[in-house]
Amino acid sequence: MIRIKDPKVSIPFYTDVLGMDFVSSHDFSDFTLYFLAYDDSDGKLTGGEKEARRLSREGTYLYPPFMRFSRKPLFDAGILELTHNHGTEALAETPYVSGNVDPKGFGHIAITVPDVEAACARFQKLGVAFQKKLTDGNMKNIAFILDPDGYWIEVLQH
């Protein structure tokens, strides 16, 4: 789970820029939870089926009996939970620390893409901020982009 300042900015970033599907949202009095994921079914799942898979992945992995001691989840695709604390969208600055500045902690999330150069060119065209471009540093096969709240997202080729 990562905290976001404004869902009207963050959700389009994760859906339109990163290509994730909006799975569901759950409203509470002081906050709203948003769930996003990549559709690993090639578009075959309905909204209700996506929600059912979200519930089966949330908090714990489901293992078939023959994989009891395995660490491999039944579903390979992960899910991203965004938490919006109501009222933060009106603040001038993001009220959360990304974990890459003091106090350090959380580092980043990562996505894999079929072609890292093409993905980075697309991100550049869309005006996405980069923490590290492919041409920066010694590791020329990974990039880091920034989401609207300043969280680092590692981009690497699968």
Same domain, 112 and 142: yes
Residue 19, phi-psi category: left (phi > 0), alpha (psi -120 to 50), beta (remainder): left
First-residue to last-residue Cα distance in the chain: 24
Same domain, 89 and 114: no
Average of per-residue pLDDT across 103-112: 87
Can you give the pLDDT at residue 25? 92
**Residue list, annotated binding site for Zn(2+):** 81, 108, 154
Rg of the Cα atoms in the chain: 17
Can you give the pLDDT at residue 15? 94
Same domain, 15 and 92: yes
The parent domain of residue 148 ranges over: 108-158
Catalytic residue, candidates 51, 58, 117, 154: 154
Can you give the pLDDT at residue 50? 65
The residue among 39 and 126 whose pLDDT is bigger is 126
Q: What domain count does the chain have?
A: 2
Same domain, 17 and 81: yes
Q: For residue 150, what are its two tokens? A: 């300043």
Residue 154 among the catalytic residues? yes
Tell me how far apart the alpha carbons of residues 152 and 110 are, in angstroms, rounded to a whole number. 8
Q: Cβ of 43: how many Cβ atoms within 10 Å?
A: 6
Assess contact for 32 and 86: CB atoms under 8 A.
Answer: yes
Q: What is the pTM (predicted TM-score) of this model?
A: 0.79
Can you give the pLDDT at residue 97? 80
Give the domain CATH number at 4. Answer: 3.10.180.10
